[in-house]
């Protein structure tokens, strides 16, 4: 067990090049005095655990240790191709509630990019929601020809990541935060994310709030990355934009990553395991080292973090580089020699760019979590008047929309519901539509309460009864009750509706 003045950090070296770059980082940490404040305890996870048939890719003992420590420092890990194993990186973030992915993208000395050659500085943070969105992995094959993926966005999830973005911006002195989104198309999911961004932003009057549609954001990042300081995004869009931003500063080998939760946080290299060079001592440890620097700041070791970061910058500035970057006329060094060069630069500052301020003192400020007895239920909207107004039923059929509508209208006779719309792949094909709209064998049919005076007086039982009647005639592949929330429609219209 650690002494009260020390923090225990779970350590997973990773797969492929992971053990080599982790060893390099730990040697740098030791030389910088980190081990006076930190005890590292190794946990078993990754490809060796997948190979035993454990689909999580981590042992029960590893889970217990991470939960006890509250901090995991990990190298890159592979996911088995095929089989039941899912990405261990995603599993870790979701299992331990590490809801915010924070990455800092900054131009580094000695790392040649289009922008460094043009003298355009890149210095931005990407905050990505880490748990929800399509990364819920809820997918189904619903007909012969159609598969679906369910996108889940919650108000509490939006609140967590937006609050974190604003708090982090305030701590870092960042004066503007952008919300990246696609709310012009996904009006309810991205619309909720944007709405909560704006609501949470009201508590930070000194920070300028702006939003940008995701496609325009990607174009702007390539054209003028210097205009962005912090961007917060939903999960999938944040994943894509994070890698795009990494390309602006030289690639994933220079992109640190922190996954922050209320109780447990994970710091990792986001590049791959590079099996082609594993064991050869050629890998670049910069990404993992930068992630470790973020980790040291997270636990309060701000002096060690600044000293190591300045040493890294001075090392890069001196021309020392591994084979994946740097001046081709200067011989590349291996992983171990790169670590030695950083150690030799400890206490030195870069001369070509601003050094990180080195605090005079530091103290561990991280407290390990106390294991909760039950899962926390998060809620944002607690007093809402919700009423059933209809249902969407998806049926597998190759009938034309007109034939389908005629049959369904007969089935619905004697119920409170009226058929109001049929859509195919999100586009309305009945009661109006175009014969040029090509169809697939999954058709969404919408029923709504015909007598509006009944809204609020009947529950979902009649919709289930309607569903059972339709199920006698058609193969049902989807059913969603339609609700109004405080009088506002809680469902989207079809394209063309």
Give pLDDT tens digits along the chain (497 positions).
344 579 999 999 999 999 999 999 999 999 999 999 999 999 999 999 998 888 889 999 999 999 999 999 999 998 776 555 678 888 899 899 999 999 999 999 999 999 999 999 999 999 999 999 998 889 999 999 999 999 999 999 999 999 999 999 999 999 999 999 999 999 999 999 999 999 999 999 999 999 999 999 999 999 999 999 999 999 999 999 999 999 999 999 999 999 999 999 999 998 999 999 999 999 999 999 999 999 999 999 999 999 999 999 999 999 999 999 999 999 999 999 999 999 999 999 999 888 999 999 999 999 999 989 999 999 999 999 999 999 999 999 999 999 999 999 999 999 999 999 999 999 999 999 999 999 999 999 999 999 999 999 999 999 999 999 999 999 999 999 999 999 999 999 998 88
The segment(s) of the chain belonging to CATH 3.40.718.10 are 1-99+261-374, 100-237
For domain 386-489, which CATH number applies: 3.40.50.720, 3.40.50.2300, 3.30.70.1570, 3.90.1170.50? 3.30.70.1570
Q: 23 — phi, psi (to 5°)? A: -60, -40
Q: Which homologous superfamily does the CATH classification assign to the domain defined by 1-99+261-374?
A: Isopropylmalate Dehydrogenase (3.40.718.10)
Domain 100-237 has CATH 3.40.718.10: yes
Residues 6+ apart with CB under 8 A from 149: 134, 138, 139
User: Distance (Å, rounded) from C-alpha 75 to C-alpha 324?
Assistant: 18
CA-CA-CA-CA torsion sign (191, 194, 198, 199): positive
Residues 6+ apart with CB under 8 A from 412: 418, 419, 447, 466, 469
The segment(s) of the chain belonging to CATH 3.30.70.1570 are 386-489
DSSP letter for 58, please.
Answer: B
User: Distance (Å, rounded) from C-alpha 54 to C-alpha 61?
Assistant: 13
Q: 287 by DSSP, 3-state: which?
A: helix
- Number of Cβ atoms within 10 Å of the Cβ of 148: 15
Nearest to 43 by CA among 17, 63, 16, 20: 63
Residues 6+ apart with CB under 8 A from 52: none
Q: 211 by DSSP, 3-state: which?
A: strand
Return the H-helix or E-strand segment holding 241. Answer: helix 235-248
**Contact in structure between 74 and 39 (CB atoms under 8 Å):** no
User: Distance (Å, rounded) from C-alpha 222 to C-alpha 204?
Assistant: 29
């Amino acid at each position: 067990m650690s002494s009260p003045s020390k923090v225990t950090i779970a350590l997973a070296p990773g797969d492929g090049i992971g053990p080599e770059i982790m060893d390099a980082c730990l040697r740098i940490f030791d030389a910088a005095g980190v081990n006076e404040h930190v005890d590292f305890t190794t946990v078993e996870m990754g490809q060796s655990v997948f190979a035993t048939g454990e689909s999580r890719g981590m042992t029960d003992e590893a889970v217990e240790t991470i939960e006890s420590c509250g901090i995991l420092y990990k190298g890159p890990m592979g996911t088995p191709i095929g089989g039941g194993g899912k990405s261990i990186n995603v599993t870790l973030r979701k299992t331990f509630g590490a809801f915010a992915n924070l990455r800092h993208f900054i131009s580094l000395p000695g790392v040649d990019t289009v922008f460094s050659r043009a003298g355009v500085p890149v210095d931005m943070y990407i905050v990505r929601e880490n748990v929800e969105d399509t990364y819920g992995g809820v997918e189904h094959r619903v007909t012969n020809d159609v598969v679906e993926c369910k996108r889940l966005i919650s108000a509490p999830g939006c609140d967590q990541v937006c609050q974190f973005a604003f708090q982090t911006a305030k701590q870092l002195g960042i004066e503007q935060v952008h919300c990246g989104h696609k709310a012009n198309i996904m009006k309810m999911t991205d619309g909720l994310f944007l709405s909560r961004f704006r609501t949470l932003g009201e508590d930070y009057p000194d920070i300028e709030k702006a939003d940008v549609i995701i496609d325009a954001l990607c174009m702007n990042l390539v054209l003028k990355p210097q205009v962005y300081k912090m961007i917060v995004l939903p999960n999938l869009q944040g994943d894509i934009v994070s890698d795009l931003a990494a390309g602006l500063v030289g690639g994933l080998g220079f992109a640190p990553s922190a996954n922050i939760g209320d109780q447990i946080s994970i710091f990792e290299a986001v590049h791959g395991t590079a099996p082609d060079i594993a064991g050869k001592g050629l890998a670049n440890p910069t990404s993992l080292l930068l992630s470790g620097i973020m980790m040291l700041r997270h636990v309060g070791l701000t002096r060690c973090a600044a000293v190591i970061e300045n040493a890294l910058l001075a090392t890069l500035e001196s021309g020392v580089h591994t084979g994946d970057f740097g001046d081709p006329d200067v011989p590349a060094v291996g992983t171990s020699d790169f670590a030695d060069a950083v150690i030799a630069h400890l206490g030195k500052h870069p001369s070509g760019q601003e050094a990180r301020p080195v605090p005079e003192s530091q103290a561990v400020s991280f407290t390990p979590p106390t294991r909760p007895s039950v899962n926390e239920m998060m809620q944002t909207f607690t007093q809402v008047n919700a009423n059933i107004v209809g249902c969407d039923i998806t049926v597998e059929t190759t009938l034309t929309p007109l034939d389908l509508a005629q049959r369904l209208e007969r089935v619905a006779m004697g119920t409170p519901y009226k058929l109001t719309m049929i859509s195919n792949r999100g586009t309305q094909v009945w009661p109006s539509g175009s014969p040029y709209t090509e169809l697939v064998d999954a058709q969404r049919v919408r029923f709504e309460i015909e007598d509006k005076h009944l809204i609020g007086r009947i529950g979902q039982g009649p919709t289930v009864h309607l569903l059972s009647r339709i199920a006698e005639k058609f193969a049902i592949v989807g059913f969603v009750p339609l609700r109004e929330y405080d009088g506002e429609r809680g469902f989207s219209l079809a394209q063309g509706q």
